[in-house]
């Protein structure tokens, strides 16, 4: 969800105003997914690298996340949305983590859309954490052999072990890189790039991205 800060700066506003407007775009995207029958939506909300930003901006983002969850959890329940989160969540401030856990528990029965927030997330860190988990298992279970280290085994230890790999990645603000997002899972994902900043992204833009995806022919390395 790129471009919040640049959206604000282009209007002479503080960067946090861009993040606030970006949270409105989240609602647009979620509604568009519900209308289109999309069952899984993962939003890259806060990367591990984002901890390098100014303390005031980080604090504003955490408060914005708490406010979003407080305002939207009831709506998620009513609309059948199940909330999940991936990343090194123990790095989040305690009040934010507590609010997140409560929203996840409250929406657990949702079956129309699984909305996953990537928070304090890094694709490389996810793979490192998966390898560490496998090493711990190997120490506890000597029967685990080298030949048993397969893509399926690694996938089973990723944060997304219970989610399908993404079909479509949408990059806003014209960015042409993965930015350390779902590096393992995006192996065969189709990519749609829009020059729009995230705060300007609407459900009509989502519909355009889905239409673009529908025109693709996915071969997965075949003919």
pLDDT per residue over 175-202, tens digit each? 999 999 999 999 999 999 999 999 999 9
Share of the chain above pLDDT 70, in %: 100
Would you say residue 158 lies in a domain? no
Q: How confident is the model at residue 133, as a pLDDT? A: 95
Within-domain flag for 219:
no
Q: Which pLDDT score is estimated for 139?
A: 87
Q: Report, as an integer, the average pLDDT of 39-65.
A: 97
- Ordered alpha helix ranges (H), the chain: 4-9, 15-36, 55-79, 94-106, 123-140, 151-155, 203-214
Please indicate, yes or no, if residue 174 is contained in any of the structural domains. Answer: yes
To the query of whether residue 50 is one of the catalytic residues in this protein, the response is yes
- Please confirm, yes or no, whether 180 is among the known catalytic residues: no
Q: Across all residues in the chain, what is the average pLDDT?
A: 96
Residue 145, pLDDT above cutoff 80: yes
Q: Is the full-model pTM beyond 0.85?
A: yes
Task: Say whether pLDDT at 223 is over 80.
Answer: no
In a domain? residue 75? yes
Give domain status of residue 53, yes or no. Answer: yes
Residue 106 has pLDDT above 90, yes or no: yes
Residue 80 resides in a domain:
yes
Among the options 4, 50, 129, 147, which is catalytic? 50
What pLDDT sits at residue 221? 79
Between the alpha carbon of residue 214 and those of residues 125, 150, 191, 209, 211, the distances in Å are 32, 31, 12, 9, 5
Residue 29, domain CATH: 3.40.1180.10
Compute and round to an integer the Cα radius of gyration of the chain: 18
Domain that holds residue 14: 4-122+165-214
Is residue 143 scored above 90 in pLDDT?
Answer: no
Confidence bin at 222 (pLDDT 50/70/90): confident
CA dihedral 7, 10, 14, 15 (to 10 degrees): 30
The average pLDDT across 41-56 equals 97
Pairwise CA distance, residues 165 & 159, whole Å? 12
Report the domain count for the chain. Answer: 1
Residue 130 lies inside a defined structural domain of this protein: no
Please check whether residue 116 lies inside any domain of the structure.
yes
């Amino acid at each position: 969800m790129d471009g919040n800060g640049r959206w604000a700066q282009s209007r002479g506003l503080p960067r946090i105003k861009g993040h606030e407007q970006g949270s409105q775009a989240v609602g647009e995207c979620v509604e568009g997914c519900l209308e289109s029958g999309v069952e899984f939506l993962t939003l890259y909300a806060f990367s591990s690298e984002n901890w390098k930003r100014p303390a005031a901006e980080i604090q504003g983002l955490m408060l914005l996340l708490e406010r979003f969850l407080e305002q939207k959890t009831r709506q998620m329940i009513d609309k059948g949305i199940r909330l999940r989160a991936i990343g090194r969540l123990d790095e989040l401030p305690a009040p934010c983590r507590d609010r997140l856990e409560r929203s996840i528990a409250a929406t657990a029965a949702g079956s129309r859309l699984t909305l996953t927030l990537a928070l304090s997330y890094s694709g490389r860190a996810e793979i490192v954490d998966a390898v560490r988990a496998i090493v711990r298992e190997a120490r506890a279970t000597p029967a685990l052999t080298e030949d048993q280290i397969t893509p399926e085994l690694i996938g089973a230890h990723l944060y997304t072990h219970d989610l399908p790999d993404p079909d479509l990645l949408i990059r806003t603000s014209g960015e042409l890189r993965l930015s350390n997002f779902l590096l393992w899972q995006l192996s065969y994902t189709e990519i749609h790039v829009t020059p729009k900043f995230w705060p300007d992204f609407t459900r009509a833009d989502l519909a355009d991205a889905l239409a673009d995806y529908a025109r693709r022919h996915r071969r997965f390395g075949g003919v």
